[in-house]
Amino acid sequence: MTQLDLILQRNRRALARQISQLEDEPLEAREILRQLYPYTGRAYVIGLTGAPGTGKSTLVNALAKAYRALAKSIAIISVDPTSPFSGGAILGDRIRLNDLAGDPNIFMRSMATRGNLGGLARATADVVKLFDAAGFEVIIIETVGVGQAEVEIVSLAHSVVVVEAPGLGDEVQAIKAGLLEIADIFVVNKADREGVPRTVAALEMMLQANLNRAARVIQSANGLSHLLPSVEQNSIAPWQPPICQTIATTSTGIDTLLSALIAHQTYQQLHGLRHQRERHRLIYEMEQLLKEQLWTNFMSQVPPAQLHDLVTQVTTRQLDPYTAVERLTFRP
């Protein structure tokens, strides 16, 4: 049986080994990604982000249970940062997944960012494709939201859930981290704790001030999207991100969150937004691939001696870096 067959049959060992190859040997993994691609595009992808300790993993566990009750198969990807000092990582999100152990319709994988910025690992998008092709109906990505460059989770997920908890200091963490703009749904978790009304009120206030978020698309300033006919901006009522209150540890309020997710999914489908988001995601992905490819092609043609020489000239101020790069890229 081929690796493709094993993956399509959701063989767990084959999936696990394939993820490792996606992480460790991206170039070698291209062939299987090529073969998998026609089978992708079916899964519903949820991104879950927020400050550490807000209860994301516990929430993923509760949410996965709720989807299992609807007979959906679920894949979970939990991303944690790699230590920039040692290159190692502690991936601790499985601790909260104990209720789901032994269910063959759930697969969970922990990933370290391995130096990638933007909250995800470089291979996360490919792992999503793998799970999608393998027929997992819902894919949940958990990532630590530390602000900035969260564009990656937006580009990958159909619905982004930003998780907040009361009592993590005076400020609402999501506001501080700039996660407000990317949320399709807010969760105020740990609703059993004090300070929930204040957190909810702060979020509501920020949302009011931020109403023109409907036109949010993934902007890539100099990207491919400028070469394409612009996607028509629908004149539809903007999606209002709901604020759900949950107690993840007891699965309280998870039904509300589930309803909000289904409502958002329906809203997107109704207005063709899922397609639009997909299109933006693919533009982003093709840009990345194109950059990599051009870079590889280009660097294979640059004589190391010339590069070395130019760097020396720039270092000694005989040449400025702008001219140096022009000389590098100019090939008569």
Partner 1 sequence: MNDNQSKIKNKIRVLVAKPGLDGHDRGAKVVAQALRDGGMEVIYTGIRQTPDMIAEAALQEDVDVVGLSILSGAHLTLIPKIMARLQDNGLTDVLVVVGGIIPPEDIPILQQAGVSAVFGPGTSTQDIIKFIQDNVKQS
Ligand X SMILES: Nc1nc2c(ncn2[C@@H]2O[C@H](COP(=O)(O)OP(=O)(O)O)[C@@H](O)[C@H]2O)c(=O)[nH]1
- Contacts with ligand X by CB under 6 A lie at 52-58, 93, 96, 189-190, 192-193, 247-249
Pick from 2, 5, 9, 24: which binds partner 1 (CB under 8 A)? 24
Site for Mg ion contains 93 (CB under 5 A):
yes
Site for partner 1 contains 293 (CB under 8 A):
no
Q: Which is nearer to ligand X, 20 or 250 (CB)?
A: 250
Q: Kindly state the smallest distance separating residue 193's Cβ from Mg ion, in Å.
A: 18
Alpha carbon distance 91, 71 (integer Å): 28
89: amino acid identity, one letter:
A
Q: Kindly state the smallest distance separating residue 2's Cβ from ligand X, in Å.
A: 37
Q: Kindly state the smallest distance separating residue 67's Cβ from partner 1, in Å.
A: 18
- Binding track over 110-149 against partner 1, x by CB under 8 A: x-x-xx----------------------------------
Alpha carbon distance 60, 275 (integer Å): 25
Going by C-alpha positions, the residue among 237, 243, 204, 226 that lies closest to residue 284 is 226
Q: Which is nearer to partner 1, 13 or 317 (CB)?
A: 13
Site for partner 1 contains 62 (CB under 8 A):
no
Edge-to-edge strand ranges of the sheet holding 185-188: 106-112, 74-80, 138-144, 44-50, 159-164, 185-188, 243-245
Name, in order, each residue with C-beta under 8 angstroms of 6's C-beta and a sequence gap of 6 or more: 14
Q: Which is nearer to partner 1, 90 or 205 (CB)?
A: 90
Going by C-alpha positions, the residue among 179, 229, 213 that lies closest to residue 56 is 179
Q: Which is nearer to ligand X, 26 or 178 (CB)?
A: 178
Burial (CB < 10 A; 0-12, 13-18, 19+), residue 86, is exposed
Q: Which is nearer to partner 1, 83 or 318 (CB)?
A: 83
Q: Kindly state the smallest distance separating residue 52's Cβ from ligand X, in Å.
A: 5
Q: Are 132 and 158 in contact (CB under 8 A)?
A: no
Task: Find the angle CA(246)-CA(248)-CA(250) to the nearest 5 degrees.
Answer: 105
The residue whose two tokens read 């489908």 is: 269
Q: Which stretch binds partner 1 (CB under 8 A): 64-72, 107-115, 162-170, 171-179?
A: 107-115
**Which residues contact partner 1 (rule: CB under 8 A)?**
12-13, 15-17, 19-20, 23-25, 82-83, 85-92, 94-95, 98, 101-102, 107-110, 112, 114-115
**Which residues contact Mg ion (rule: CB under 5 A)?**
56-57, 93
